[in-house]
Amino acid sequence: MLRIVLGIVFIMVISGLGHLALNYGRRASKNSKRGYARLKIFCLIFGIVAFIFWGWFIYITLLSHINRENLGLLPCSSVFLIACVVMVWQWISERIWYDKTSFVVRNFWMVKRKYAYKDITGICKTTDVYLIVGETSIAVSALMEGGERFIHAAQKGYAEANKGEHIPRVFRRPRKAINGNLAVSHDFVFIGALLLTLLGGFLLSLNLHPSEMTSEHFEASIENVYESEEDLVFYLQNQEEPFVIKDFWEYAKNIHLLREPDVKDTTFSVYAEYKPASRSRDAYYHVCSMGDGNGNIYVTFDLTWHQEREWRSSSSIMIGIFLIIIIISGVACAISARNPEKHKLLYWLCFSKKGRD
């Protein structure tokens, strides 16, 4: 897996450096007849560095110990990883070429469209600048290198084509299925997706069934056994961390056999999940299944699952309700943002602002 991640990173770095050399080697000077605008090189560097970080994070958290908690973190980490790839791809794909009379826009999907300055119908200025051509809005991000020069060229080209008039200022872009009236709706969508995957991943980690895939297998004899009011703790030969059977009085079987004098001569087969250390406890192995060579069963995966469902039922219900509230809120915001005049109360509830009359 590490070789795959490093291979992908290597390919991205070489591709980025190749595009950098080709594009910057062919850069048009400020006085040339043809110019262009694209995302700044910072976006490429940040995307690659963040991709390496999140790729390494997935590797050390997921592959070092494949347990249910790490599998639950995988969806959220993957969203960050995909966002890094998107940022790098935006640097490669999105670009604007322009001259005195027209400009060409290449979008995220590498599709090019040509527009004339005389066809511009408006300009919308928020955190970014949007040129409006009919029902199409062309974003000129603040992160674009050469963006200001392009806007200046567009204003000059529009004035020459329309007898010195300025581009009409508008305060609302054409309504789209997602954008509505939100200037940075893509940020809201990404944050919402990230939050949903984070909570969804946590909910997934709570409800994954313990299995051999998410548990490490050990075959060894027991060296020491300790009993408390709730848990049974023992050590396996050549293992530093303790093994814990939670609520063994209720969920374990044949515990009396572990008190026999010849228990140290018995080989046990144990499937356990590694729990790293935290501020409140040391690292240990949570026993999910356990048996010995004599055919005695102490803990099974089904018993562990039944036990954990009782522990986590209330947490799962609370997170599930919270997820439903987030989804309903997101839908309400999208509906009200698309038509604040019609849904004035809903718009006020979502954004604490009065809908336009």
Residues 183 and 127 sit within 8 Å (Cβ to Cβ): yes
Specify the pLDDT at position 357: 44
Least confident of 103-107, 120-124, 169-173, 238-242: 169-173
Please tell me the distance from the alpha carbon of residue 157 to that of residue 205, in angstroms, as a whole number: 57
Residues 297 and 254 sit within 8 Å (Cβ to Cβ): yes
For residue 332, give every residue at least 6 positions away whose Cβ sits within 8 Å of its Cβ, in sequence order, or none.
346, 349, 350
Residues 43 and 91 sit within 8 Å (Cβ to Cβ): yes
Please tell me the distance from the alpha carbon of residue 131 to that of residue 122, in angstroms, as a whole number: 6
**CATH class entry, domain 216-299:** mainly beta
Structure tokens at 157: 């080209």
Q: Per-residue pLDDT tens for 274-301?
A: 888 878 788 899 998 999 888 899 988 8
**330 vs 246: which has the higher pLDDT:** 246
Q: Per-residue pLDDT tens for 52-84?
A: 888 888 877 766 667 777 777 777 778 788 888
Specify the pLDDT at position 271: 92
Residue 345 has pLDDT above 50, yes or no: yes
Please tell me the distance from the alpha carbon of residue 132 to that of residue 333, in angstroms, as a whole number: 24
The pTM is what?
A: 0.56
Structure tokens at 303: 């018993």
Task: pLDDT band for 25, please (50, 70, 90 cuts).
Answer: very low
Average model confidence (pLDDT) across the chain: 78
**340 vs 154: which has the higher pLDDT:** 154
Where in 32-175 does DSSP place strands (E)? Answer: 35-39, 95-98, 102-106, 112-116, 122-125, 129-133, 136-140, 144-145
Residues 95 and 104 sit within 8 Å (Cβ to Cβ): no
> What percent of the chain is predicted at pLDDT more than 70?
79
Residues 214 and 67 sit within 8 Å (Cβ to Cβ): yes
Q: Please list the residue range(s) of the chain that carry CATH number 2.40.50.140.
A: 216-299
Specify the pLDDT at position 16: 57
Please tell me the distance from the alpha carbon of residue 62 to that of residue 64, in angstroms, as a whole number: 6
Least confident of 11-20, 101-110, 207-216, 224-233: 11-20
Helices (H), 127-220: 147-161, 185-207
Q: Per-residue pLDDT tens for 81-98?
A: 888 888 888 888 888 999
Q: Per-residue pLDDT tens for 211-245?
A: 777 788 899 888 888 888 788 899 998 888 999 99
Tokens 């070429």 sit on residue: 97
- Alpha carbons within 13 angstroms on the beta-carbon side of residue 51 total 23
Structure tokens at 342: 């019609």
Specify the pLDDT at position 352: 63
Specify the pLDDT at position 42: 86
For residue 326, give every residue at least 6 positions away whose Cβ sits within 8 Å of its Cβ, in sequence order, or none.
192, 195, 196, 199
Structure tokens at 82: 């995909």
Closest CA to 94 of 78, 77, 106, 83: 106
Q: Determine whether 157 is exposed, middle or buried from the number of CB atoms within 10 Å of its CB (0-12, 13-18, 19+).
A: buried
